[in-house]
Amino acid sequence: MADFNKILPPGNVDGGMVNVVNEIPAGNNHKIEWNRKLGAFQLDRVEPAIFAKPTNYGFIPQTLDEDGDELDVLLITEQPLATGVFLEAKIIGVMKFVDDGEVDDKIVCVPADDRNNGNAYNSLADLPQQLIKQIEFHFNHYKALKKPGSTKVGHWGDIEEAKAVIKESIERWNKQA
C-alpha cells in the first residue's frame, strides 16, 4: 500500500481545500487508524455500537496535531466512504477538542466535488444544528463507558481558525520530517 504521507500533499489550505484520507466510514464503530510506520490501516479497537462515528473520520496527510497523530477530519457526506478513499475536501470549520488532556482538534470538511450536498455547505452555520449536536455529543461521550470525563469539545471555530490549525500541523510535520 502506498504511504499517503509521502505521496499525497496536504492540499491548498489558503484556497480552502485539503486532501483527506478516510479512515472510518460514517456509522461504523470500528476505530480504524492509519499506521504510518507500516503504511497500512489498522483496527485499533472496536467501540460500543452506540458510539458509531456520526460522520466519516479521516486525516490530512503530511500534518501532525499536538497529540502526535495526523490532523483529524470530520468529513460530512450523505453516504459513508470506505476506508482508504482519498479526496479533495472543502474546509468549513474546526471542532476544538481535548482527549485525555491532549489537543486533538477535528477539521470539518465536505467533499469539494459534492454538487448535490457539499456545495450547499460553505461554513459550519450551513450544517443542520442537529448534526452539530450529534457530533458534539458523540465526542463528549464516546469514551464514557471506559474513562468518563476524558474527552471534551471546547468550541467550534470558523474556516480561518481551521486553516490556522492546519498550517500549524503542517509546520509540526515538516519539523519532524
Phi, psi of 89 (to 5 degrees): -130, 150
pLDDT at position 2 is 63
Percent of the chain with pLDDT over 70: 95
pLDDT at position 33 is 95
Q: Please enumerate, by residue number, every residue annotated as part of a binding site for Mg(2+).
A: 67, 72, 104
131: number of CA atoms within 13 Å, CB side? 17
In this structure, whether the domain defined by 4-176 belongs to CATH 3.40.140.10 is answered with no
Q: Please enumerate, by residue number, every residue annotated as part of a binding site.
A: 31, 45, 57, 67, 72, 104, 142
Place 157 in a pLDDT band, splitting at 50, 70 and 90.
very high
- Each residue's pLDDT tens digit, 105-132: 999 999 998 666 556 899 999 999 999 9
Report the pLDDT averaged over residues 88-104: 94
**pTM for the full predicted model:** 0.94
Over the chain, what is the mean pLDDT? 93
d(CA 162, CA 70): 15
Of residues 113 and 64, the one with the higher pLDDT is 64
**Is the confidence at residue 173, as pLDDT, over 90?**
yes
Q: Please enumerate, by residue number, every residue annotated as part of a binding site for substrate.
A: 31, 45, 57, 142
Alpha helix stretches (DSSP H) within the chain:
4-7, 129-141, 159-176
pLDDT at position 175 is 94
Q: What is the DSSP letter of 172?
A: H
Report the pLDDT averaged over residues 49-74: 96
d(CA 139, CA 151): 7
Sequence-separated (6 or more) residues with CB below 8 Å from residue 133? none
